Amino acid sequence: MATATLPARDAKLYKPEVPPDWCPGCGDYGVLTVLQRACGELGIPNERLMVISGIGCSSNLPGFFRSYGMHSLHGRSLPVATGAKMANHEMTVIACGGDGDGYGIGQGHFIHAMRRNVNLTYIVMDNEIYGLTTGQTSPTSESGMKTKSTPFGNPEGQLNPIALALAAGCGFVGRGFSGDINHLKSLYTQAIQYPGFALIDVFSPCVTFNKQNTFGWFKERVYKLEDKGHDATNWNAAMDRSKEWGAQIPIGLFYKNPNPKPSIDAADPALQGEGLAKAKKLGLTVEQRKKLIQEYV
């Protein structure tokens, strides 16, 4: 997609009339602001953008972003986004949602969307909790964490979305922090320009229901991969870094496939011309019909 060559636009152009209604201080504000700036920097016209979410606090984002959008079902942003991309591959498609949405109920789609390699950007606002349903444990909640559904501590293991994405063949795997806006913006612009499926897991603290993984907690722990000389073209190195969790937690670009195969939409024989949704004449031609009927006589 030739978005990089467009003149930059004002980030305000992506702000709608409706102001976000997240709790004051919610990490998702940063995620939204950065997305508006990144799209401005890339100069993508509003009408060329399709932002698609699932359900959750974080999934309210499309309503607070000026573009075309879908606020779909809990866990289903990725198949919906895949369908949208197939229907008009000329659009820039961004899927987004929460950790529960993407790694819990939608986890099957998550793995397959990466394997399938659709050209879209997936932003997960990872707050290690179910926010909208008022604070139950999530797949990324730490073991032992006390939540409403686990008042005696989370007995289950914690999912590692970075390692999972790498294993599933995702060609662009990044992690950001809503508390570091400029760093996050660069991840977004790279992800949107990447010609395949790009995951950005964003630490986006829930100030209301997650009293454990707070802004302060992350600030103390996160370090940037870029500062440690990490080679993002090295899959094994990325896998090693993905295991780090505790006193030191890496953010930044874990992996970017240096030789990506064409994405599924780029390779699909039906998607070689203009977007399918633009077709004016529908239905089989006389020749196509005759040829098909010939198979059955």
Q: What's the alpha-carbon Rg for the chain, to the nearest Å?
A: 20
Q: With CA atoms as reference, report the closest residue to 119 among 58, 50, 186.
A: 50
CA 166, CA 283: separation in Å to the nearest integer? 41
Q: CB under 5 to 8 A by kind: which of Mg ion, ligand SF4, ligand TPP, none does 150 bind?
A: none
**Residue 98 near Mg ion by CB under 5 A:** yes
Q: Is the dihedral of CA 158, 98, 10, 256 positive or negative?
A: positive
Backbone angles phi, psi at 85, to 5 degrees: -65, -40
Between residues 182 and 272, which has the closer beta carbon with respect to another protein?
Answer: 272
Q: Does 99 bind Mg ion (CB under 5 A)?
A: yes
> Which residues would be at the binding site for ligand SF4 (CB under 6 A)?
22-23, 26, 28, 57, 127, 131-132, 206-209
Shorter beta-carbon distance to another protein: residue 82 or 204: 82
Cα–Cα dist 199/123, whole Å: 6
The single-letter code of the amino acid at 114 is M
215-274 residues in contact with Mg ion (CB under 5 A) are none
Tell me which residues in 177-206 interact with ligand TPP (CB under 6 A): 206
With 0-12 CB in 10 A as exposed, 13-18 as middle and 19+ as buried, what is 40?
middle
Q: Which one, 132 or 225, has the nearer CB to another protein? A: 132
Nearer to Mg ion, 58 or 119 (CB): 58
Three-class secondary structure of residue 101 per DSSP: helix
From the list 27-35, 67-75, 180-188, 204-212, the region that binds another protein by CB under 8 A is: 67-75
- Tell me: does residue 277 bind another protein (CB under 8 A): yes
CA gap 243, 233 in Å, rounded: 17
Residues at the contact surface with ligand TPP, assessed by CB under 6 A? 55-58, 74, 97-101, 125, 127, 129-133, 138, 206
Residues at the contact surface with Mg ion, assessed by CB under 5 A? 98-100, 127
